[in-house]
Amino acid sequence: MDRYVITSTRVGEIGTAFVAGPSDDIDWLLEGGFIQRSDTHPSKGAKLTNKPDAPTSKKD
């Protein structure tokens, strides 16, 4: 899922995450320079709620 950052005060506080509503046109907002895609990825230390590789049992 793409994440976006606000780049214009017309949309909100610059630098904060843009949370799209159901009627928001993301392409239009990107083209107009109001938001941009965030290239920030979760840090390696970020905890996952469900760890996909975690063993389900400690017994092998």
Partner 1 sequence: MATSTYLSNPIVSIGAVDISDQCTSANLSQKIMALPDNAFGSTATSFTAGLQDNTLTLELYWSTAATETYATFKALVGTKIASVTIKGTSAATSATNPLGTLANSYLEELPVVYSLGELSRCTIVLRGGTFAWTEV
Nearer to partner 1, 1 or 48 (CB): 1
Residues binding partner 1: number (CB under 8 A): 17
Q: With binding defined as CB under 8 A, does residue 37 bind partner 1?
A: no
The string over 28-59, giving b where at least 16 C-beta atoms fall within 10 Å of a residue's C-beta and e elsewhere, is: ebeeeebbeeeeeeeeeeeeeeeeeeeeeeee
Q: Which phi and psi (to 5°) does residue 30 adopt? A: -70, -45
Q: In angstroms, what is the minimal distance from the CB of 12 to partner 1?
A: 8
Round to whole Å and give the CA distance between 43 and 60.
30
Q: With binding defined as CB under 8 A, does residue 11 bind partner 1?
A: yes
Q: Which residues of the chain form contacts with partner 1 (CB under 8 A)?
A: 7-8, 10-12, 18, 20-21, 23-25, 28-29, 31-34
